């Protein structure tokens, strides 16, 4: 009961602190286009990439399923204060992320978030993944099919550990929708048909993919 | 003579990369997109994933002595089925669900260009 009350209070505080947008997605789209975000991000699905060359020609991630992928509260904050998610520059194995993503004002970030969160694939089932400390997921993530080879995550001794070619998964639990993580693993050609990550369909069961999504969804800042 | 062949092969691949996507450049593009994350763009086993925490040393493809211990079939099997299929680390994932047979065959050929070696025969 005490935990429930504390959680409810926490949520209420967060709701008060995050910018609230009453704008329509179209207002956000107008800002998105006016700021030329479209020069790096496309927002209309389905996925366009068919070859490695197509993927490497992009300068930023596709956002046509942003509403599936991201958590709204995180997105509002990130657009106002964008910090690198990928250690390396998008599409590069040699250049560090220049950390030069443009920032939006607080009001703009809330309005653009309205737009981005309206972009969904219709292919992500909500409420499928239960986020928790997941020993099986951890075993797969770090040993069996080591996602850790390409993705950073919080190390046990503090700081981050793991590979640097993929996006960091440190604190991914506040950024990513765990149901989307599962869908991304299950439907490898739907969201990003050409990617540096292996296809795990046929190698991991749906249950194991859900375990990984559950484990990664639990990557949250230490309190 | 082998050196000349290798240089010619590398020059051909680079030349092809300058133009529109062509079949001859594909193995190099496949290598640089997937394998170089760990094995490095020049094949020395020094991709960006190989930090101080990386638990194993990815194979150095320019080490002809080591690469000569492997047949093309050995390499192909590890690419398709991952490191554990050959008693090696799971840090080498199975790419059999990602790459086509043709792409894997092309990769094996490209690795032979990188090591300038022919590998174990038979």
Closest partner residue to A144 among B21, B90, B98, by Cβ? B90
CB B31 within 8 A of CB B40: no
- State yes or no: pLDDT of A80 exceeds 50: yes
Return the sign of the alpha-carbon dihedral for residues A102, A107, A110, A116: negative
Q: A–B: how many Cβ contacts below 8 A?
A: 67
A108, A109, A36, A101: which is closest to A75 by C-alpha? A109
Contact A155/B at CB under 8 A: yes
- State yes or no: pLDDT of A17 exceeds 70: no
Contact A199/B at CB under 8 A: yes
Report the CATH superfamily, name and number, of domain B2-115. Cytochrome c-like domain (1.10.760.10)
Which of A64, A86, A117 is the last residue before a domain boundary? A117
Which of A117, A145, A169 is the last residue before a domain boundary? A117
Q: Which of A49, A198, A212 to mutate to test the interface with B (most CBs of B within 10 A)?
A: A198
> How many structural domains is chain A composed of?
2
Per-residue pLDDT tens digits for A160-211 = 999 999 999 999 999 999 999 999 999 999 999 999 999 999 999 999 999 9
CA within 13 Å, CB half, A180 = 20
Q: Which residue of A has its CA nearest to B35?
A: A196
Residues A83 and A143 in one domain: no
Does the ipTM surpass 0.85?
yes
Helix (H, G, I), strand (E, B) or coil at A32: helix
Give the lowest-confidence range in A9-13, A49-53, A201-205, B94-98.
A9-13
pLDDT per residue as tens, chain B (122 positions): 344 334 434 444 333 333 333 333 499 999 999 999 999 999 999 999 999 999 999 999 999 999 999 999 999 999 999 999 999 999 999 999 999 999 999 999 999 999 999 999 96
Per-residue pLDDT tens digits for A116-132 = 999 999 999 999 999 99
Residue A38 exposed, middle or buried by CB count within 10 Å (0-12, 13-18, 19+)? middle
Q: pTM for the full model?
A: 0.86
- Would you call the peptide bond into A46 cis, given omega within 30 degrees of 0 as the criterion? yes
Contact A52/B at CB under 8 A: yes
Give the pLDDT confidence score for residue A222 in this predicted structure. Answer: 84
- Residues of chain B that touch chain A, judged by Cβ-Cβ distance less than 8 Å: 21, 29-30, 32-34, 36-38, 41, 47-51, 53-54, 90-91, 93-95, 97-98
- State yes or no: pLDDT of A1 exceeds 70: no
Domain that holds residue A38: 2-117
């Amino acid at each position: 009961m005490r935990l429930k009350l504390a959680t409810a209070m926490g949520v209420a505080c967060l709701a008060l602190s995050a910018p609230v947008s009453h704008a329509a997605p179209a207002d956000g789209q107008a800002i998105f286009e006016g700021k030329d975000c479209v020069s790096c991000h496309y927002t209309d699905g389905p996925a366009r990439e068919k070859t490695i060359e197509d993927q490497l020609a992009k300068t930023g991630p596709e956002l046509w399923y942003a509403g599936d992928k991201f958590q709204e509260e995180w997105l509002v904050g990130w657009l106002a204060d964008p910090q690198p998610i990928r250690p390396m520059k998008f599409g590069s194995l040699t250049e560090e992320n220049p950390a030069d993503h443009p920032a939006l004002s607080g009001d703009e970030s809330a309005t653009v978030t309205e737009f981005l969160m309206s972009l969904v694939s219709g292919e992500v089932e909500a409420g499928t993944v239960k986020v928790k400390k997941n020993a099986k997921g951890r075993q797969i993530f770090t040993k069996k099919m080591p996602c850790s080879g390409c993705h950073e995550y919080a190390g046990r001794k503090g700081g981050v550990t793991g590979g640097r070619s993929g996006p960091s998964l440190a604190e991914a639990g506040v950024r990513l929708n765990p149901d989307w993580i599962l869908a991304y693993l299950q439907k490898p050609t739907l969201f990003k048909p050409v990617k540096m990550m292996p296809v795990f369909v046929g190698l991991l069961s749906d249950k194991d993919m859900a375990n990984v999504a559950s484990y990664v969804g639990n990557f949250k800042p230490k309190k | 003579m082998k050196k000349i062949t290798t240089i010619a092969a590398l020059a051909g691949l680079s030349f092809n990369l300058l133009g529109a996507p062509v079949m001859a450049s594909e193995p190099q593009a496949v290598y640089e997109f997937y394998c170089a994350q760990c094995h490095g763009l020049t094949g020395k086993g020094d991709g960006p994933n190989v930090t101080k925490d990386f638990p194993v040393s990815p194979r150095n493809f320019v080490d002809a002595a080591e690469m000569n211990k492997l047949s093309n079939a050995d390499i192909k099997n590890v690419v398709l089925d991952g490191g554990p299929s050959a008693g090696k680390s799971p840090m080498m994932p199975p790419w059999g669900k990602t790459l086509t047979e043709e792409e894997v065959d092309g990769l094996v050929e490209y690795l032979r260009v990188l090591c300038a070696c022919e590998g174990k025969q038979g």
